[in-house]
Structure 1
Amino acid sequence: MARRSGRVLRAHPKLLVFPLIGGLSGIAFIVTLFGSLLLTDSVQNPGLVLYGALFVAYLVETFVASFFTAALVAATRTVFHGEEPSVRGSLAAAWQRKLPLFAWSLVAALVGVLIRLIESEDNLVAQVLAGVFAVAWSVMTYFVVPVIVFRNPSVTEMFSESASTFKDTWGESIGAMATIDIFSFLFALVGLGLGVLTFVVTGGTSIQLVATVLIGGSAFVFGLLLGKALSGVAKTALYVYATERTAPEFFDDMNFSALGGNTSASTRGFGNRFNGPGNGRI
Protein backbone atom coordinates (compact mmCIF):
# COMPACT_ATOMS: atom_id res chain seq x y z
CA MET A 1 0.00 0.00 0.00
CA ALA A 2 2.76 2.44 0.94
CA ARG A 3 4.77 1.73 -2.21
CA ARG A 4 1.78 2.11 -4.53
CA SER A 5 0.64 5.23 -2.71
CA GLY A 6 4.14 6.54 -3.35
CA ARG A 7 3.61 5.93 -7.07
CA VAL A 8 0.58 8.19 -6.95
CA LEU A 9 2.57 10.94 -5.22
CA ARG A 10 5.45 10.66 -7.70
CA ALA A 11 3.02 11.00 -10.60
CA HIS A 12 1.09 13.84 -8.93
CA PRO A 13 3.38 15.67 -6.46
CA LYS A 14 0.85 18.49 -6.05
CA LEU A 15 -1.04 16.16 -3.68
CA LEU A 16 1.58 17.09 -1.07
CA VAL A 17 0.17 20.62 -1.02
CA PHE A 18 -2.88 19.62 1.01
CA PRO A 19 -1.18 18.15 4.10
CA LEU A 20 1.39 20.97 3.95
CA ILE A 21 -1.22 23.74 4.10
CA GLY A 22 -3.26 21.82 6.67
CA GLY A 23 -0.23 21.28 8.90
CA LEU A 24 0.90 24.89 8.74
CA SER A 25 -2.62 26.15 9.46
CA GLY A 26 -3.01 23.82 12.42
CA ILE A 27 0.35 24.78 13.92
CA ALA A 28 -0.42 28.49 13.57
CA PHE A 29 -3.75 28.09 15.34
CA ILE A 30 -2.38 25.99 18.21
CA VAL A 31 0.53 28.37 18.79
CA THR A 32 -1.87 31.32 18.87
CA LEU A 33 -4.39 29.65 21.19
CA PHE A 34 -2.03 28.18 23.76
CA GLY A 35 0.30 31.16 23.55
CA SER A 36 -2.63 33.25 24.73
CA LEU A 37 -3.39 30.78 27.53
CA LEU A 38 0.21 30.85 28.73
CA LEU A 39 0.00 34.63 29.04
CA THR A 40 -3.01 34.26 31.34
CA ASP A 41 -1.60 31.30 33.36
CA SER A 42 -4.66 29.22 32.42
CA VAL A 43 -2.49 26.26 31.42
CA GLN A 44 -0.96 26.09 34.90
CA ASN A 45 -4.42 26.11 36.53
CA PRO A 46 -6.54 23.34 34.98
CA GLY A 47 -10.21 24.12 35.05
CA LEU A 48 -13.15 25.18 32.92
CA VAL A 49 -11.07 27.64 30.90
CA LEU A 50 -8.43 25.04 30.03
CA TYR A 51 -10.95 22.37 29.05
CA GLY A 52 -12.88 24.95 27.04
CA ALA A 53 -9.65 25.83 25.24
CA LEU A 54 -8.96 22.13 24.64
CA PHE A 55 -12.41 21.74 23.11
CA VAL A 56 -11.83 24.71 20.80
CA ALA A 57 -8.37 23.38 19.92
CA TYR A 58 -9.70 19.89 19.13
CA LEU A 59 -12.59 21.35 17.13
CA VAL A 60 -10.51 23.68 14.96
CA GLU A 61 -7.60 21.26 14.59
CA THR A 62 -9.90 18.41 13.55
CA PHE A 63 -11.79 20.61 11.11
CA VAL A 64 -8.61 21.99 9.53
CA ALA A 65 -6.98 18.56 9.27
CA SER A 66 -10.19 16.95 7.98
CA PHE A 67 -10.81 19.72 5.46
CA PHE A 68 -7.40 19.37 3.82
CA THR A 69 -7.58 15.58 4.07
CA ALA A 70 -10.94 15.79 2.28
CA ALA A 71 -9.28 17.88 -0.43
CA LEU A 72 -6.54 15.25 -0.71
CA VAL A 73 -9.14 12.47 -0.94
CA ALA A 74 -11.04 14.40 -3.63
CA ALA A 75 -7.82 14.95 -5.59
CA THR A 76 -6.89 11.27 -5.25
CA ARG A 77 -10.36 10.29 -6.46
CA THR A 78 -9.72 12.43 -9.56
CA VAL A 79 -6.40 10.62 -10.11
CA PHE A 80 -8.15 7.26 -9.82
CA HIS A 81 -10.49 8.41 -12.60
CA GLY A 82 -7.45 8.93 -14.82
CA GLU A 83 -7.64 12.74 -14.70
CA GLU A 84 -5.24 15.45 -13.54
CA PRO A 85 -6.21 16.79 -10.10
CA SER A 86 -6.61 20.52 -9.50
CA VAL A 87 -5.68 22.10 -6.17
CA ARG A 88 -8.45 24.68 -6.50
CA GLY A 89 -11.02 22.11 -7.63
CA SER A 90 -10.12 19.74 -4.80
CA LEU A 91 -10.39 22.52 -2.21
CA ALA A 92 -13.76 23.47 -3.69
CA ALA A 93 -14.92 19.85 -3.41
CA ALA A 94 -13.86 19.78 0.24
CA TRP A 95 -15.63 23.08 0.90
CA GLN A 96 -18.86 21.59 -0.43
CA ARG A 97 -18.59 19.08 2.42
CA LYS A 98 -17.97 21.75 5.09
CA LEU A 99 -21.14 21.01 7.09
CA PRO A 100 -20.57 17.25 7.56
CA LEU A 101 -16.87 17.96 8.17
CA PHE A 102 -17.82 20.45 10.89
CA ALA A 103 -20.30 17.98 12.41
CA TRP A 104 -17.58 15.32 12.49
CA SER A 105 -15.13 17.79 14.03
CA LEU A 106 -17.64 18.76 16.71
CA VAL A 107 -18.20 15.14 17.74
CA ALA A 108 -14.45 14.43 17.63
CA ALA A 109 -13.76 17.46 19.85
CA LEU A 110 -16.30 16.30 22.43
CA VAL A 111 -14.80 12.81 22.44
CA GLY A 112 -11.28 14.24 22.69
CA VAL A 113 -12.16 16.29 25.78
CA LEU A 114 -13.93 13.27 27.30
CA ILE A 115 -10.80 11.13 26.83
CA ARG A 116 -8.68 13.84 28.46
CA LEU A 117 -11.09 14.01 31.40
CA ILE A 118 -10.84 10.24 31.88
CA GLU A 119 -7.04 10.40 31.60
CA SER A 120 -6.94 13.10 34.27
CA GLU A 121 -8.29 10.65 36.84
CA ASP A 122 -5.42 9.44 39.04
CA ASN A 123 -5.96 5.68 38.81
CA LEU A 124 -4.82 2.86 36.55
CA VAL A 125 -8.32 1.76 35.54
CA ALA A 126 -9.10 5.21 34.14
CA GLN A 127 -5.83 5.28 32.21
CA VAL A 128 -6.50 1.86 30.66
CA LEU A 129 -10.11 2.78 29.89
CA ALA A 130 -9.03 6.00 28.19
CA GLY A 131 -6.44 4.13 26.11
CA VAL A 132 -8.89 1.44 24.99
CA PHE A 133 -11.53 4.05 24.19
CA ALA A 134 -9.04 6.12 22.16
CA VAL A 135 -7.96 3.10 20.09
CA ALA A 136 -11.57 2.02 19.47
CA TRP A 137 -12.48 5.55 18.44
CA SER A 138 -9.54 5.75 16.01
CA VAL A 139 -10.54 2.45 14.41
CA MET A 140 -14.23 3.37 14.12
CA THR A 141 -13.50 6.75 12.53
CA TYR A 142 -10.60 5.72 10.27
CA PHE A 143 -12.65 6.17 7.06
CA VAL A 144 -14.84 9.08 8.17
CA VAL A 145 -13.32 11.63 5.78
CA PRO A 146 -13.51 9.40 2.65
CA VAL A 147 -17.11 8.57 3.57
CA ILE A 148 -17.90 12.29 3.79
CA VAL A 149 -16.20 13.06 0.46
CA PHE A 150 -17.68 10.13 -1.47
CA ARG A 151 -21.15 10.03 0.05
CA ASN A 152 -22.02 13.30 1.86
CA PRO A 153 -23.68 11.27 4.66
CA SER A 154 -25.65 12.13 7.77
CA VAL A 155 -23.83 12.23 11.11
CA THR A 156 -24.85 8.70 12.05
CA GLU A 157 -24.07 7.34 8.59
CA MET A 158 -20.53 8.72 8.57
CA PHE A 159 -19.64 6.71 11.66
CA SER A 160 -21.51 3.53 10.73
CA GLU A 161 -20.09 3.47 7.20
CA SER A 162 -16.57 4.21 8.44
CA ALA A 163 -16.76 1.36 10.96
CA SER A 164 -18.23 -1.03 8.37
CA THR A 165 -15.54 -0.16 5.83
CA PHE A 166 -12.78 -0.72 8.37
CA LYS A 167 -14.34 -4.09 9.25
CA ASP A 168 -14.37 -5.06 5.57
CA THR A 169 -10.73 -4.08 5.08
CA TRP A 170 -9.24 -4.49 8.56
CA GLY A 171 -6.17 -6.41 7.39
CA GLU A 172 -5.35 -3.92 4.66
CA SER A 173 -6.15 -0.92 6.86
CA ILE A 174 -3.96 -2.02 9.75
CA GLY A 175 -1.15 -2.95 7.39
CA ALA A 176 -1.34 0.39 5.59
CA MET A 177 -1.42 2.38 8.83
CA ALA A 178 1.50 0.48 10.36
CA THR A 179 3.73 0.56 7.29
CA ILE A 180 3.17 4.23 6.54
CA ASP A 181 3.65 5.22 10.19
CA ILE A 182 6.90 3.25 10.36
CA PHE A 183 8.10 4.77 7.08
CA SER A 184 7.28 8.30 8.27
CA PHE A 185 8.99 7.70 11.60
CA LEU A 186 12.15 6.37 9.94
CA PHE A 187 12.23 9.27 7.51
CA ALA A 188 11.84 11.71 10.40
CA LEU A 189 14.71 9.97 12.21
CA VAL A 190 16.84 10.37 9.09
CA GLY A 191 16.07 14.08 9.23
CA LEU A 192 17.17 14.30 12.85
CA GLY A 193 20.29 12.32 11.98
CA LEU A 194 21.14 14.75 9.17
CA GLY A 195 20.72 17.62 11.60
CA VAL A 196 23.05 16.06 14.16
CA LEU A 197 25.60 15.17 11.46
CA THR A 198 25.52 18.73 10.14
CA PHE A 199 26.09 20.09 13.64
CA VAL A 200 29.03 17.75 14.31
CA VAL A 201 30.72 18.29 10.95
CA THR A 202 30.34 22.09 10.91
CA GLY A 203 31.61 22.63 14.46
CA GLY A 204 28.53 24.13 16.11
CA THR A 205 28.86 27.90 15.51
CA SER A 206 25.71 30.01 15.53
CA ILE A 207 25.44 30.14 11.74
CA GLN A 208 26.11 26.43 11.51
CA LEU A 209 23.48 25.82 14.18
CA VAL A 210 20.93 27.57 11.98
CA ALA A 211 21.99 25.36 9.06
CA THR A 212 21.59 22.31 11.30
CA VAL A 213 18.04 23.29 12.25
CA LEU A 214 17.12 24.04 8.64
CA ILE A 215 18.51 20.79 7.26
CA GLY A 216 17.37 18.49 10.06
CA GLY A 217 14.07 20.27 10.59
CA SER A 218 13.20 20.33 6.90
CA ALA A 219 13.87 16.61 6.51
CA PHE A 220 11.89 15.86 9.69
CA VAL A 221 8.89 17.91 8.55
CA PHE A 222 9.05 16.42 5.05
CA GLY A 223 8.91 12.93 6.57
CA LEU A 224 5.75 13.81 8.49
CA LEU A 225 4.26 15.53 5.43
CA LEU A 226 4.99 12.54 3.22
CA GLY A 227 3.42 10.21 5.77
CA LYS A 228 0.21 12.25 5.85
CA ALA A 229 0.01 12.26 2.06
CA LEU A 230 0.70 8.52 1.77
CA SER A 231 -1.92 7.80 4.42
CA GLY A 232 -4.55 9.87 2.60
CA VAL A 233 -3.88 8.17 -0.73
CA ALA A 234 -3.86 4.67 0.81
CA LYS A 235 -7.06 5.37 2.73
CA THR A 236 -8.81 6.50 -0.46
CA ALA A 237 -7.63 3.42 -2.35
CA LEU A 238 -8.86 1.15 0.43
CA TYR A 239 -12.22 2.89 0.48
CA VAL A 240 -12.63 2.46 -3.27
CA TYR A 241 -11.68 -1.20 -2.95
CA ALA A 242 -14.10 -1.79 -0.06
CA THR A 243 -17.08 -0.10 -1.71
CA GLU A 244 -16.57 -1.01 -5.37
CA ARG A 245 -14.61 -4.26 -5.15
CA THR A 246 -12.23 -2.96 -7.82
CA ALA A 247 -8.63 -1.84 -7.49
CA PRO A 248 -8.16 1.82 -8.50
CA GLU A 249 -5.50 3.08 -10.88
CA PHE A 250 -1.91 2.61 -9.58
CA PHE A 251 -3.22 -0.28 -7.43
CA ASP A 252 -4.54 -2.49 -10.24
CA ASP A 253 -1.62 -4.94 -9.91
CA MET A 254 -2.39 -5.52 -6.24
CA ASN A 255 -4.47 -8.33 -4.76
CA PHE A 256 -6.18 -6.53 -1.89
CA SER A 257 -7.97 -9.60 -0.56
CA ALA A 258 -4.67 -11.42 -0.09
CA LEU A 259 -3.62 -8.91 2.56
CA GLY A 260 -6.18 -10.02 5.12
CA GLY A 261 -9.51 -8.82 6.42
CA ASN A 262 -12.94 -9.75 5.15
CA THR A 263 -12.70 -10.90 1.54
CA SER A 264 -16.41 -10.39 0.95
CA ALA A 265 -16.65 -6.66 1.42
CA SER A 266 -20.11 -5.26 1.67
CA THR A 267 -21.56 -3.43 -1.27
CA ARG A 268 -24.13 -1.71 1.00
CA GLY A 269 -25.89 -0.18 -1.97
CA PHE A 270 -23.43 2.58 -2.72
CA GLY A 271 -20.74 0.94 -4.85
CA ASN A 272 -19.85 2.74 -8.07
CA ARG A 273 -21.40 5.97 -6.80
CA PHE A 274 -19.21 9.00 -6.33
CA ASN A 275 -20.68 12.17 -4.97
CA GLY A 276 -19.34 15.11 -6.87
CA PRO A 277 -20.13 18.80 -7.09
CA GLY A 278 -23.64 19.81 -7.97
CA ASN A 279 -26.11 16.95 -8.03
CA GLY A 280 -23.52 14.55 -6.67
CA ARG A 281 -22.74 12.01 -9.40
CA ILE A 282 -19.55 11.54 -11.38
Structure 2
Amino acid sequence: MRVFSRLKIGFGMARRSGRVLRVHPKLLVFPLVGGISGIAFIATLFGSLLLTDSIRDPGMVLYGALFLAYLVETFVASFFTAALVAATRTVFHGEEPSIRGALAAAWQRKLPLLAWSVVAAIFGVIIRIIESEDNLVAQLLAGVFAVAWSVMTYFVVPVIVFRDPSLTEMFSESATTFKNTWGESIGAMATIDVFSFLLALAGLTLGVLTFVVTAGTGIQLLAAVVVGGSGFVFGLLVGKALSGVAKTALYVYATESTAPAFFDDMDFGAFGGYGGGRI
Protein backbone atom coordinates (compact mmCIF):
# COMPACT_ATOMS: atom_id res chain seq x y z
CA MET A 1 0.00 0.00 0.00
CA ARG A 2 2.94 2.32 0.62
CA VAL A 3 3.82 2.25 -3.09
CA PHE A 4 0.30 3.33 -4.10
CA SER A 5 0.30 6.00 -1.40
CA ARG A 6 3.50 7.51 -2.77
CA LEU A 7 2.20 7.37 -6.34
CA LYS A 8 -1.00 9.09 -5.18
CA ILE A 9 1.08 11.90 -3.66
CA GLY A 10 2.81 12.26 -7.03
CA PHE A 11 -0.56 12.62 -8.78
CA GLY A 12 -1.56 15.30 -6.28
CA MET A 13 1.70 17.16 -6.82
CA ALA A 14 1.07 17.22 -10.57
CA ARG A 15 -2.34 18.82 -9.98
CA ARG A 16 -0.90 21.42 -7.66
CA SER A 17 1.82 22.19 -10.22
CA GLY A 18 -1.02 23.07 -12.57
CA ARG A 19 -2.28 25.57 -9.99
CA VAL A 20 1.12 27.23 -9.96
CA LEU A 21 1.06 27.62 -13.75
CA ARG A 22 -2.48 29.02 -13.74
CA VAL A 23 -1.49 31.73 -11.26
CA HIS A 24 1.95 32.36 -12.81
CA PRO A 25 1.66 31.66 -16.57
CA LYS A 26 4.92 33.53 -17.20
CA LEU A 27 6.70 30.34 -16.10
CA LEU A 28 5.85 28.97 -19.54
CA VAL A 29 8.38 31.39 -21.05
CA PHE A 30 11.37 29.33 -19.92
CA PRO A 31 10.51 26.01 -21.60
CA LEU A 32 9.29 27.96 -24.64
CA VAL A 33 12.61 29.74 -25.18
CA GLY A 34 14.54 26.60 -24.30
CA GLY A 35 12.47 24.59 -26.75
CA ILE A 36 12.96 27.08 -29.57
CA SER A 37 16.70 27.04 -29.03
CA GLY A 38 16.58 23.24 -28.99
CA ILE A 39 15.15 23.12 -32.51
CA ALA A 40 18.53 24.07 -33.93
CA PHE A 41 20.15 21.34 -31.87
CA ILE A 42 17.71 18.70 -33.08
CA ALA A 43 18.58 19.55 -36.68
CA THR A 44 22.29 19.44 -35.86
CA LEU A 45 22.03 16.24 -33.87
CA PHE A 46 20.03 14.30 -36.42
CA GLY A 47 22.28 15.58 -39.18
CA SER A 48 25.27 14.31 -37.22
CA LEU A 49 23.63 10.97 -36.57
CA LEU A 50 22.67 10.49 -40.19
CA LEU A 51 26.18 11.37 -41.27
CA THR A 52 27.64 9.03 -38.69
CA ASP A 53 25.42 6.17 -39.85
CA SER A 54 26.43 6.73 -43.44
CA ILE A 55 30.14 6.19 -42.75
CA ARG A 56 31.58 2.81 -41.83
CA ASP A 57 34.24 4.30 -39.55
CA PRO A 58 32.90 7.62 -38.21
CA GLY A 59 36.18 8.61 -36.61
CA MET A 60 36.97 11.10 -33.88
CA VAL A 61 35.96 14.16 -35.91
CA LEU A 62 32.32 13.21 -36.19
CA TYR A 63 32.13 12.00 -32.60
CA GLY A 64 33.69 15.31 -31.61
CA ALA A 65 30.96 17.13 -33.53
CA LEU A 66 28.36 14.98 -31.79
CA PHE A 67 29.91 15.85 -28.43
CA LEU A 68 29.63 19.57 -29.19
CA ALA A 69 26.00 19.13 -30.21
CA TYR A 70 25.18 17.33 -26.97
CA LEU A 71 27.12 19.91 -24.97
CA VAL A 72 25.32 22.90 -26.45
CA GLU A 73 21.88 21.35 -26.20
CA THR A 74 22.37 20.14 -22.63
CA PHE A 75 23.67 23.49 -21.49
CA VAL A 76 20.86 25.46 -23.16
CA ALA A 77 18.16 23.10 -21.87
CA SER A 78 19.67 23.02 -18.38
CA PHE A 79 20.07 26.79 -18.29
CA PHE A 80 16.40 27.50 -19.00
CA THR A 81 15.33 24.67 -16.69
CA ALA A 82 17.48 26.27 -13.98
CA ALA A 83 15.72 29.58 -14.64
CA LEU A 84 12.34 27.82 -14.30
CA VAL A 85 13.46 26.20 -11.03
CA ALA A 86 14.68 29.57 -9.71
CA ALA A 87 11.40 31.26 -10.65
CA THR A 88 9.44 28.42 -9.03
CA ARG A 89 11.51 28.81 -5.87
CA THR A 90 10.48 32.49 -5.82
CA VAL A 91 6.83 31.45 -6.13
CA PHE A 92 7.29 29.01 -3.25
CA HIS A 93 8.52 31.90 -1.12
CA GLY A 94 5.25 33.71 -1.79
CA GLU A 95 6.78 36.27 -4.14
CA GLU A 96 6.10 37.25 -7.75
CA PRO A 97 8.64 35.62 -10.10
CA SER A 98 10.65 37.77 -12.48
CA ILE A 99 11.84 36.45 -15.84
CA ARG A 100 14.94 38.64 -15.68
CA GLY A 101 15.63 37.64 -12.08
CA ALA A 102 15.25 33.93 -12.85
CA LEU A 103 17.59 34.19 -15.84
CA ALA A 104 20.10 36.05 -13.68
CA ALA A 105 19.89 33.32 -11.04
CA ALA A 106 20.52 30.67 -13.70
CA TRP A 107 23.45 32.66 -15.07
CA GLN A 108 25.02 32.71 -11.60
CA ARG A 109 25.11 28.91 -11.85
CA LYS A 110 26.61 28.87 -15.35
CA LEU A 111 29.85 27.13 -14.34
CA PRO A 112 28.27 24.13 -12.56
CA LEU A 113 25.70 23.95 -15.38
CA LEU A 114 28.55 23.87 -17.88
CA ALA A 115 30.38 21.18 -15.86
CA TRP A 116 27.19 19.10 -15.77
CA SER A 117 26.70 19.62 -19.52
CA VAL A 118 30.24 18.42 -20.28
CA VAL A 119 29.72 15.23 -18.28
CA ALA A 120 26.31 14.67 -19.87
CA ALA A 121 27.76 15.19 -23.36
CA ILE A 122 30.55 12.69 -22.70
CA PHE A 123 28.04 10.14 -21.46
CA GLY A 124 25.82 10.80 -24.49
CA VAL A 125 28.69 10.10 -26.87
CA ILE A 126 29.58 6.91 -24.96
CA ILE A 127 25.99 5.72 -25.28
CA ARG A 128 26.08 6.53 -28.97
CA ILE A 129 29.30 4.53 -29.43
CA ILE A 130 27.77 1.55 -27.63
CA GLU A 131 24.61 1.81 -29.75
CA SER A 132 26.72 1.80 -32.92
CA GLU A 133 27.75 -1.78 -32.15
CA ASP A 134 25.55 -4.02 -34.26
CA ASN A 135 24.49 -6.57 -31.65
CA LEU A 136 21.63 -7.03 -29.22
CA VAL A 137 23.82 -7.05 -26.10
CA ALA A 138 25.18 -3.60 -26.93
CA GLN A 139 21.68 -2.25 -27.53
CA LEU A 140 20.44 -3.61 -24.20
CA LEU A 141 23.52 -2.30 -22.40
CA ALA A 142 23.02 1.16 -23.88
CA GLY A 143 19.38 1.11 -22.77
CA VAL A 144 20.28 0.11 -19.21
CA PHE A 145 22.96 2.80 -19.01
CA ALA A 146 20.55 5.43 -20.34
CA VAL A 147 17.86 4.56 -17.75
CA ALA A 148 20.37 4.49 -14.89
CA TRP A 149 21.78 7.84 -16.01
CA SER A 150 18.31 9.40 -16.19
CA VAL A 151 17.52 8.24 -12.66
CA MET A 152 20.83 9.38 -11.20
CA THR A 153 20.64 12.84 -12.79
CA TYR A 154 16.90 13.47 -12.37
CA PHE A 155 17.39 16.24 -9.79
CA VAL A 156 20.75 17.59 -10.98
CA VAL A 157 19.42 21.00 -12.05
CA PRO A 158 17.51 21.67 -8.78
CA VAL A 159 20.62 20.62 -6.86
CA ILE A 160 22.68 23.14 -8.82
CA VAL A 161 20.14 25.93 -8.29
CA PHE A 162 19.54 25.33 -4.57
CA ARG A 163 23.06 24.36 -3.59
CA ASP A 164 26.65 25.21 -4.51
CA PRO A 165 27.68 21.61 -5.19
CA SER A 166 30.90 20.09 -6.42
CA LEU A 167 30.73 17.91 -9.51
CA THR A 168 30.44 14.71 -7.48
CA GLU A 169 27.96 16.22 -5.02
CA MET A 170 25.50 17.24 -7.74
CA PHE A 171 25.27 13.63 -8.88
CA SER A 172 25.24 12.02 -5.43
CA GLU A 173 22.58 14.38 -4.06
CA SER A 174 20.46 13.99 -7.18
CA ALA A 175 20.59 10.20 -6.90
CA THR A 176 19.82 10.30 -3.17
CA THR A 177 16.86 12.64 -3.69
CA PHE A 178 15.41 10.39 -6.38
CA LYS A 179 15.87 7.37 -4.12
CA ASN A 180 13.91 9.15 -1.39
CA THR A 181 11.15 10.33 -3.72
CA TRP A 182 10.99 7.64 -6.41
CA GLY A 183 7.29 6.93 -5.93
CA GLU A 184 6.28 10.58 -5.86
CA SER A 185 8.53 11.35 -8.84
CA ILE A 186 7.07 8.54 -10.93
CA GLY A 187 3.52 9.45 -9.96
CA ALA A 188 3.97 13.14 -10.75
CA MET A 189 5.80 12.61 -14.02
CA ALA A 190 3.38 9.91 -15.20
CA THR A 191 0.42 12.21 -14.56
CA ILE A 192 2.13 15.10 -16.31
CA ASP A 193 3.14 12.95 -19.29
CA VAL A 194 -0.43 11.69 -19.73
CA PHE A 195 -1.85 15.21 -19.43
CA SER A 196 0.71 16.58 -21.91
CA PHE A 197 -0.06 13.77 -24.34
CA LEU A 198 -3.78 14.50 -24.15
CA LEU A 199 -3.17 18.21 -24.74
CA ALA A 200 -0.93 17.48 -27.71
CA LEU A 201 -3.48 14.98 -29.06
CA ALA A 202 -6.22 17.59 -28.69
CA GLY A 203 -4.07 20.02 -30.66
CA LEU A 204 -3.60 17.52 -33.47
CA THR A 205 -7.34 16.80 -33.45
CA LEU A 206 -8.06 20.52 -33.82
CA GLY A 207 -5.69 20.54 -36.77
CA VAL A 208 -7.59 17.70 -38.44
CA LEU A 209 -10.93 19.41 -37.78
CA THR A 210 -9.55 22.66 -39.20
CA PHE A 211 -8.44 20.78 -42.31
CA VAL A 212 -11.96 19.37 -42.76
CA VAL A 213 -13.77 22.65 -42.05
CA THR A 214 -11.59 24.67 -44.43
CA ALA A 215 -11.87 22.12 -47.24
CA GLY A 216 -12.02 23.75 -50.64
CA THR A 217 -10.23 26.91 -49.54
CA GLY A 218 -6.73 27.98 -50.46
CA ILE A 219 -5.61 28.08 -46.84
CA GLN A 220 -6.80 24.58 -45.92
CA LEU A 221 -3.40 23.00 -45.35
CA LEU A 222 -1.82 26.13 -43.87
CA ALA A 223 -4.68 26.62 -41.40
CA ALA A 224 -4.55 22.97 -40.35
CA VAL A 225 -0.79 23.08 -39.78
CA VAL A 226 -0.95 26.34 -37.82
CA VAL A 227 -3.84 25.25 -35.58
CA GLY A 228 -2.70 21.67 -35.11
CA GLY A 229 0.96 22.56 -34.70
CA SER A 230 0.20 25.30 -32.17
CA GLY A 231 -1.96 22.97 -30.11
CA PHE A 232 0.65 20.22 -30.20
CA VAL A 233 3.47 22.56 -29.17
CA PHE A 234 1.31 24.04 -26.40
CA GLY A 235 0.76 20.58 -24.95
CA LEU A 236 4.48 19.86 -24.89
CA LEU A 237 5.20 23.32 -23.46
CA VAL A 238 2.77 22.88 -20.58
CA GLY A 239 4.23 19.46 -19.86
CA LYS A 240 7.76 20.84 -19.60
CA ALA A 241 6.66 23.64 -17.29
CA LEU A 242 4.65 21.28 -15.07
CA SER A 243 7.62 18.94 -14.84
CA GLY A 244 9.91 21.77 -13.72
CA VAL A 245 7.48 22.94 -11.05
CA ALA A 246 6.76 19.45 -9.72
CA LYS A 247 10.45 18.53 -9.68
CA THR A 248 11.28 21.68 -7.71
CA ALA A 249 8.51 20.94 -5.20
CA LEU A 250 9.74 17.37 -4.80
CA TYR A 251 13.27 18.57 -4.18
CA VAL A 252 12.07 21.02 -1.52
CA TYR A 253 10.01 18.27 0.10
CA ALA A 254 12.92 15.85 0.20
CA THR A 255 15.62 18.23 1.42
CA GLU A 256 14.02 21.04 3.42
CA SER A 257 11.10 19.36 5.22
CA THR A 258 8.87 22.28 4.31
CA ALA A 259 5.65 22.81 2.39
CA PRO A 260 6.02 25.48 -0.30
CA ALA A 261 3.15 27.67 -1.42
CA PHE A 262 0.45 25.81 -3.38
CA PHE A 263 1.56 22.50 -1.82
CA ASP A 264 0.87 23.23 1.85
CA ASP A 265 -2.26 21.05 1.85
CA MET A 266 -0.29 17.91 0.99
CA ASP A 267 -0.37 14.95 3.39
CA PHE A 268 3.24 14.94 4.57
CA GLY A 269 2.64 11.94 6.79
CA ALA A 270 2.92 9.69 3.74
CA PHE A 271 6.51 10.82 3.34
CA GLY A 272 7.47 9.05 6.53
CA GLY A 273 10.47 6.79 6.35
CA TYR A 274 12.95 9.26 4.95
CA GLY A 275 16.23 9.31 6.80
CA GLY A 276 17.43 12.03 9.11
CA GLY A 277 13.98 13.42 9.83
CA ARG A 278 13.56 14.71 6.26
CA ILE A 279 10.19 14.60 4.59
TM-score by length of 2: 0.89
Cα offset, 1:25, TM superposition: 1.1
Structure 2 residue aligned with 1:161: 173
1:187 aligns with 2:196: no
Q: 1:113 to 1:36 in 2, by over 3 A?
A: closer
**Residues 158 and 251, structure 2, Cα contact 8 Å, conserved in 1:** yes
In 1: Cα distance, 2:110 partner to 2:71 partner: 13
1:9 aligns with 2:21: yes
Residues 67-146 of structure 1 aligned to structure 2 (within 5 Å): 67-146=79-158
Residues 215-254 of structure 1 aligned to structure 2 (within 5 Å): 215-254=227-266
1:200 aligns with 2:212: yes
Secondary structure class of the residue paired with 2:72: helix
In 2: Cα distance, 1:70 partner to 1:242 partner: 18
Cα deviation 1:195-235 (Å, max 9, x = unaligned) = 11211222165411111000000000010100000000000
Q: 1:81 to 1:211 in 2, by over 3 A?
A: same
In 2: Cα distance, 1:18 partner to 1:28 partner: 17
**Residues 45 and 66, structure 2, Cα contact 8 Å, conserved in 1:** no
In 2: Cα distance, 1:213 partner to 1:229 partner: 24
The residue identity in structure 2 corresponding to 1:160 is S
Secondary structure class of the residue paired with 1:169: helix
**Residues 48 and 66, structure 2, Cα contact 8 Å, conserved in 1:** no
1:50 aligns with 2:68: no
**Residues 172 and 256, structure 1, Cα contact 8 Å, conserved in 2:** no
1:148 aligns with 2:163: no
Structure 2 residue aligned with 1:173: 185
The residue identity in structure 2 corresponding to 1:184 is S
Cα deviation 1:239-267 (Å, max 9, x = unaligned) = 00000112211011112553xxx633345
The residue identity in structure 2 corresponding to 1:225 is L
Structure 1 residue aligned with 2:273: 264
> What runs of 5+ residues in structure 2 fail to find an aligned partner?
1-12
Identity %: 79
The residue identity in structure 2 corresponding to 1:254 is M
In 2: Cα distance, 1:121 partner to 1:183 partner: 36
RMSD: 2.1
The residue identity in structure 2 corresponding to 1:265 is Y
**Residues 78 and 113, structure 2, Cα contact 8 Å, conserved in 1:** yes
The higher relative CO (CA closer than 8 Å, separation ≥ 6) is in: 2
The residue identity in structure 2 corresponding to 1:64 is V
TM-score by length of 1: 0.88
Secondary structure class of the residue paired with 2:258: coil
Secondary structure class of the residue paired with 1:85: coil
Q: Name the count of aligned residue pairs.
A: 264
> What runs of 5+ residues in structure 1 fail to find an aligned partner?
272-282
Deviates more, 1:230-239 or 1:205-214: 205-214
Higher helix share: 2
